[in-house]
Amino acid sequence: MIFEEAARLLAAAGLESPRAEARLLYAHALGTTRDETLLASLKPTQEQAARFAAMIARRAAREPCAYITGAKEFWSMDFQVGPGVLVPRPETETLIEQALKLVAHRVVPLRIADLGTGSGILLIAALKEFINASGVGFESSKESFHWGEQNVARLMPGRAKIRLADWNEAEGPFDLVFSNPPYIPSAEIDSLEPEVSRFEPRAALDGGSDGLGSYRALAGLLPRILKPGGHAILEIGQGQGPAMEPLFRGSGLKLLHIAPDLAGIPRAVILEKA
């Protein structure tokens, strides 16, 4: 399958950047860089051409590109991902940015938790920045746990561990807690883009009838596992900001502020234990 034909197939499948995605998959199939695929002298072997064709067929079926290549960048690190785990998204980096603003000194020996850790991106990125910290991620899905465990072993050995456990089993006290919980209202999931609705794990998306079920659970859990003066940073979906203050009112947690992502959408809820 030649590159131009692959780009046409992806365009017909409704992808916004068919040539760019075809180029990325072409480079992956050939085991080379994107720039080198532009060389006229580069000729794929029969095996590489077949591999490329299979990748294009999967992407044309709207399978996430990260599942096909097996990797996704987050906080300038490459994470292994695949079916069964949520694909890392750039807006989630907002949580790490806010943690760096909360904790001025990166050498502080923090104890960090990541609730519903998935591929481990938040835990590992935080430990990369806070060099004397240690942490634990809690993940109840066996499929997601597999990816998180692999990433910890490869990127943060000795300083982090992933537990195959519900986050209610978390035992504090923690200085800093992250969570990117499910927050899509149940009835809206099937209307999302096919990459999400057909392929990503529903348990990592489904926030119940109003999308707020996980935050109600966190309002009860976080006061128990945070140290006094400790902080929790939670990702929220578009339009959910106004629900946060009343939801956490009376929990023993103070809502400091809600930070926007790079698109200006309120994304990271910062809470402090009194």
pTM of the model: 0.95
Kind of pairing between the strands at 266-273 and 226-235: antiparallel
Query: Does 53 score more than 70 pLDDT?
Result: yes
Q: Taking Cα atoms as reference points, which of 125, 211, 221 lies closest to residue 171?
A: 221
Q: In the beta sheet, which residues pair with residue 269?
A: 234, 258
DSSP code at position 39? -
Residue with tokens 């998180």: 148
Mean pLDDT of 95-113: 96
CA distance 101 to 122: 15
CA distance 217 to 214: 5
Residue range 146-173, pLDDT digits in tens: 999 999 999 999 999 999 999 999 998 9
Q: Taking Cα atoms as reference points, which of 132, 133, 24, 151 lies closest to residue 86?
A: 151
Annotated domain spans of the chain: 3-61, 71-273
The answer to whether the CB of 223 falls within 8 A of the CB of 216 is no
Q: In the beta sheet, which residues pair with residue 253?
A: 273
Would you place residue 40 in the very low, low, confident or very high pLDDT band (cuts 50, 70, 90)?
low
Would you place residue 239 in the very low, low, confident or very high pLDDT band (cuts 50, 70, 90)?
very high
What is the CATH architecture assignment of 71-273? 3-Layer(aba) Sandwich (3.40)
Query: Does 114 score more than 80 pLDDT?
Result: yes
Query: Does 37 score more than 80 pLDDT?
Result: no
Would you place residue 32 in the very low, low, confident or very high pLDDT band (cuts 50, 70, 90)?
confident
